[in-house]
Amino acid sequence: GIIMATSHVLGEYAEKVVAALAIYNLQNQYPQVLDPIIEQILTPESFISPELTARDVFYREVSTVHLLLPALVNSANEITQSDKPIQQVSEYILKVNAILLGVLREVIKYRQHNADRFVPSRPSPVTEYLPWTAAAGKNDLRTCLYTMQNLTLKHGVTGTNVSATRNELYDQIVGLIDLILDGRKCHLESIRGTEKFDILLKQYETERTNLIQPLIKNEQYENAAMLAEKYFDFASLVQICDLTDNKSRLDSYSVRFADQDFSGFLFSWFVKDGRQGQLVE
């Protein structure tokens, strides 16, 4: 398990209140999606008074409201295995992503604006910071984000002929990947200088490339480049420039990422690929 500083745990509780408010606001926009799921996850014992609606009962326990999100993702998974028309499946995935991203973006915004308030008073060699939005385990959101990224690729973008909808779905895929990598990066920063760092860094680098590759495969080069630039995935950036035959972009990266030795990486990449001749060009 992971030991977290008390201040980070308190910050997590505050973030879950933000998540509850975001869900509440989105419920008015997506009642046909959220209302059935809320009723589904409530136990009969929860209804302590016939005067209370499902909404009333649901929002009583603010610290557990976020448990709706795994149920939401599960509903999307189930609909992809149903006999509903592919267009309906694609539209449902679009709505689920909008809710999931809407909630978690509000949480991230709050986290960034209030980061200084929850900094531990003194550093500790035993504590780590793994945001609940990126944690693995029971009802974890990391799996939720991976599941939706996978469902959106397999059933969302392939289930619509409307280019605007497809573009929106690709934007959502970028958002899901961004949340996954942001969470992993936060955790890595908290363990920098420890024995675990090098091992988890290698895992992160592999995960980063694996998440971006499907976008490159589907020729979503700008979306892939946006993520690769933000998270320093130089292999993907070189691949994109190579596939699009864009030497000027490659040159711009050598300048932009000079401090990270992009030119050194590029040299190694061409040598490894047996294309030393292009280095002379």
Whole-angstrom Cα Rg for the chain: 22
pLDDT tens, 47-101?
778 888 888 888 888 878 888 999 999 999 999 999 999 999 999 999 999 999 9
State the average pLDDT over residues 6-22: 94
Dihedral in degrees, nearest 10, Cα atoms 224, 231, 127, 1: 30
The pair of three-digit structure tokens given for residue 265, joined into one six-digit string: 């990486």
The total number of residues shown for the chain amounts to 281
Q: What angle do CA 67, 86, 84 make, to 5 degrees?
A: 70
Q: Count CB neighbours of 106 within 10 A.
A: 18
Q: Which of 2, 232, 7, 11 is nearest to 112 (CA)?
A: 11
Instruction: Report the pLDDT value the prediction gives residue 220, as an integer from 0 to 100.
Output: 98
Residue 136 in this model has a pLDDT that exceeds 90: no
Residue 278 in this model has a pLDDT that exceeds 70: no
What span, in angstroms and rounded, lies between the C-alpha atoms of 262 and 53? 58
DSSP structural state of residue 39: H
Grouping H, G, I as helix, E, B as strand and the rest as coil, residue 132 is coil
Instruction: Report the pLDDT value the prediction gives residue 185, as an integer from 0 to 100.
Output: 94
State the average pLDDT over residues 162-176: 97
Report yes or no: 79 and 151 within 8 Å, Cβ to Cβ: no
What span, in angstroms and rounded, lies between the C-alpha atoms of 3 and 6? 9
The pTM score is: 0.93
What span, in angstroms and rounded, lies between the C-alpha atoms of 238 and 198? 24
Top mean pLDDT of 3-7, 106-110, 275-279 is at 106-110
Report yes or no: 169 and 90 within 8 Å, Cβ to Cβ: yes
State the average pLDDT over residues 138-162: 92
Report yes or no: 234 and 263 within 8 Å, Cβ to Cβ: no
The pair of three-digit structure tokens given for residue 33, joined into one six-digit string: 């999606």
Dihedral in degrees, nearest 10, Cα atoms 207, 210, 212, 216: 170
Report yes or no: 134 and 180 within 8 Å, Cβ to Cβ: yes
Place 230 in a pLDDT band, splitting at 50, 70 and 90. very high
Instruction: Report the pLDDT value the prediction gives residue 277, as an integer from 0 to 100.
Output: 58
State the average pLDDT over residues 165-180: 97
